Structure 1
Amino acid sequence: MQTRSIKAVSDQQGTDLREGRGMGLALAAELNGYPGPSHVLELTDGLDLTPAQRLRVQELFDTMKAEAVPVGVRLLSQEATLDEQFASRTLNEETLKKSVDEIALTQGALRAIHLKHHLLVRTILNGEQLTKYAQLRGYTADGSMPAHRHPH
């Protein structure tokens, strides 16, 4: 971890943030029956999406990514700044609080973007498709994931 360009962010996390991936930020939605646009697109055939549904989900995915990428890049920049502040020994309690508060706001904004799009996708699918989605994703009857699986 000491050799990372940003100590608190793995290479994979950095890539995910730059590419607008969810990284588990929307599990509250996903595991409560609100499918994510990327997974719905992956399961298009199994869900028997109509062309109109597929188009609408693709539009939501594209919008989600367009919103998430700049916020993810901002989060990386904020994490780099905090890392540099520690490395240069320029932090005090006030600047630390300011940096951490900014990061927390950005993390919240990023999570809200992903959750919002899960909420919107649910309005596109019918009840049968929602049930099929849960089955295809390997969820149990109560909507939770079996212990050996993780959605992302």
Structure 2
Amino acid sequence: MIMNTKTIWASACLAALLVASAMPAAAQHAGQPGGQGQAGHQGRGHEAMQAREFRNLQQGRGMGMARAAETNGYPGPMHVLEHAEALELTDGQIERTRELIVRVKTRAPELGKQVVDAEKRLQAMFAEGDVNAATMDSLLLEIAELRAHLRSLHLTAHLDQAAVLTEAQIAKYKELRSADGEARRPMRRMGEMKRADSSDG
């Protein structure tokens, strides 16, 4: 079943609104009985996490926005370029892949900054007590649409990259990425063990 563009954007906006609606509840739990120190610690943790997200958005980082494509074998431009020799890319394919990378690196920070600006306006609205349902909903829809555009940018890069490669190259790409994942697995385990040790201390 094919969904039209309007339906896709509506679904994306609804998903973002559901996520946004969960945030006040999480913040409310932080203020419930359990010790002021605990609430303060949770608050600092939330601020640090949000600051990291804002920084990543402003830098145009993917933050898993293209995971639906990546986990289903749609090639990412950066990884394709990394394996250019193994994939036996032509000069034309390399040039097109670089164009896709430039497109994302140029547009993603612009959209990310717009998302951060809108999120900060939402926070200020509540901080200043100058908020009502109508203005809040309008801003939430703006945020949802911006985030949907940003995610679409990252996902479309994978679609366009797949169109650049041959079926044989895509199959080879999947093999290479699977091997990359196996190579990184011991490092991930070591990192998990270190985090566990530090938390025990």
TM-score above 0.5, yes or no: yes
Larger radius of gyration: 2
Deviation at 1:107, TM superposition (A): 0.6
Residue type of the alignment partner of 1:66: T
What aligned pairs does 1:29-108 form with structure 2 within 5 A after superposition?
29-108=69-148
Give me the whole-angstrom Cα distance separating, in 2, the residues matched to 1:15 and 1:128. Answer: 38
The TM-score with structure 1 as length reference comes to 0.79
Residue type of the alignment partner of 1:107: R
Residue type of the alignment partner of 1:46: A
Instruction: State the match for 2:35 in structure 1.
Output: none
Cα pair distance change 1:88/1:15, threshold 3 Å: same
Residue of structure 2 aligned with 1:134, choices 174, 178, 197: 174
Cα pair distance change 1:80/1:9, threshold 3 Å: farther
Is there any run of 5+ residues in structure 2 with no aligned partner, and where?
Answer: 1-41, 189-201
Question: 1:74-114: per-residue Cα shift (whole Å, max 9, x none)?
Answer: 00100111111122222221121111111001011111111
Percent sequence identity is 37
CA contact (8 A) 1:7 1:83 kept: no
Is there any run of 5+ residues in structure 1 with no aligned partner, and where?
Answer: 140-144
Q: Which has the higher helix share?
A: 2
Residue type of the alignment partner of 1:37: P
Deviation at 1:55, TM superposition (A): 1.4
Give me the whole-angstrom Cα distance separating, in 1, the residues matched to 2:177 and 2:134. Answer: 45
Q: Secondary structure at the match of 2:145?
A: helix
Residue type of the alignment partner of 1:77: D
Give me the whole-angstrom Cα distance separating, in 1, the residues matched to 2:106 and 2:144. Answer: 20
Cα pair distance change 1:45/1:18, threshold 3 Å: farther
Give me the whole-angstrom Cα distance separating, in 2, the residues matched to 1:7 and 1:47. Answer: 43
**For the aligned residues, what is the CA RMSD?**
2.7
Instruction: State the match for 1:122 in structure 2.
Output: 162
Question: 1:5-43: per-residue Cα shift (whole Å, max 9, x none)?
Answer: x94963332232122222111222222222121222233
Residue type of the alignment partner of 2:127: A
Aligned residues: 143
Question: More displaced, 39-48 or 111-120?
Answer: 39-48
The TM-score with structure 2 as length reference comes to 0.62
